[in-house]
Structure 1
Amino acid sequence: MLDLYKNIKKLRLELGLSQDSLAKMTGYTDRSSITKIEKGEVDLQQSKIELFAKALHTTPKKLMGWDKEEPDKPNTIAAHFDGTEYTEEQIDRIKAFAAFIKSEQ
């Protein structure tokens, strides 16, 4: 849950929003509620997480830290070729051949 609170503050600052502005956008009366939320002193209900995500122009999943962007990594040998598209069967054959070559070392 810690990611949630850190992400709320991080995104609020990135968007240049004050705590007062975010409070109004999410149905709170003043910034003291946002201060407590950003410190992790308040548990947020799912409906509030959705409101925060909308106000901060993100998804609840990203706000919770469950959808971290990871750099694209090739996960098969076929990914290292010149852009040629391969069928699943061809990819399996390439993997088998690579395993064979590796076993010969």
Structure 2
Amino acid sequence: MRESTMKTTGNIIRELRLKKGLSQEELAEGLNRRFGSSVNKGMVSKWENEISEPRLDAVRQLAEFFHVSVDYLIGSLEQPSPGEQPDISEDQILTIAAHQVGHEGPLTPEQMDKIKLAMRIALAKEEK
């Protein structure tokens, strides 16, 4: 039995997901895209709310997706190792920025392209 001071797997999954700026649906889609799994938003919600535990294969995928050890993900380690900090892709950075200004949900490829173009225009004007 876990001590009350230890984080639960569900809390850790939620914390890592939020650090990446992902919704539950975006996490499920990211896992499915990367690993060919069949995770859905409801499963992620059940994990985070401690209604069910992810299967071992899902734990491994989550650990790889978030760049943390399985031990950290299941609450056996207090903090990820320095080399295990989550990587954030350009698309994730743009999604986080869009969420900060009120956009909800994932960005379409067209929205990503428009944001990138707007950034290039803004930076080009700044250089003049």
TM-score by length of 1: 0.57
Question: Where does the alignment leave 5 or more consecutive residues of structure 2 unmatched?
Answer: 32-36, 80-128
Q: 1:31 aligns with which of 34, 38, 41?
A: 41
2:19 aligns to what? 14
Q: 1:62 aligns with which of 69, 72, 75?
A: 72
Pairs within 5 Å for 1:57-96: 57-69=67-79
2:121 aligns to what? none
CA gap of 1:62–1:48, structure 2 versus 1, over 3 A, is: same
Instruction: Calculate percent identity across the aligned residue pairs.
Output: 23
Question: Where does the alignment leave 5 or more consecutive residues of structure 1 unmatched?
Answer: 70-105
- d(CA) in 1 for partners of 2:50, 2:77: 20
Look up the SS of the partner of 1:8 in the other structure: helix
TM-score by length of 2: 0.48
- d(CA) in 2 for partners of 1:44, 1:58: 16
The answer to whether the aligner puts 1:3 opposite 2:3 as a matched pair is no
**Count of matched residue positions in the alignment of Structure 1 and Structure 2:** 69
